[in-house]
Amino acid sequence: MGVIPEGHTLFVVDIEYVVPFEQIEPVLEPHMAFVKQGYADGHFLCSGPKNPRTGGIVIAIGETLAAIEALMAEDPFVSAGVVKVQITEFAASNRHPVLV
């Protein structure tokens, strides 16, 4: 079995802060716990902050866009209303061998 399970695809989750970083900081720890759980559950392939730090990017694995939308709705950043999230599904037709 590869990194991307059969029947799943990749999604780019673009997270953009919509409030000053001072309002992000109190939600950062719960958000990072959410991210850690996303890795443990096999939903996330990689993630990290943008440079400059205006938000972050997550590469997620899922069966459907609706499933990833539902997952990201659980992110404490989203429930606190401090970010805007845009999710883009893409067909990874070219992959590094480690992703096969």
Domain ranges of the chain: 23-92
C-alpha distance from residue 9 to each of 5, 16, 66, 89 (Å): 8, 23, 12, 7
Rounded to two decimals, the pTM is 0.93
Distance separating alpha carbons of residues 86 and 13, to the nearest angstrom: 6
100 residues of the chain, pLDDT tens digit each: 578 888 899 999 999 999 999 999 999 999 999 999 999 999 999 999 999 999 999 999 999 999 999 999 999 999 999 999 999 999 888 888 887 7
Residue 78: per-residue pLDDT: 98
**CB contact set of 71 (below 8 Å; sequence gap of 6+):** 38, 43, 60, 62
Q: Among 3.40.50.300, 3.40.50.10490, 3.10.310.10, 3.30.70.1060, what is the CATH number of 23-92?
A: 3.30.70.1060
> Residue holding tokens 């539902």?
70
pLDDT of residue 86: 98
- On whether the CB atoms of residues 87 and 68 are closer than 8 A, the answer is yes
pLDDT of residue 21: 95
pLDDT at 3: 83
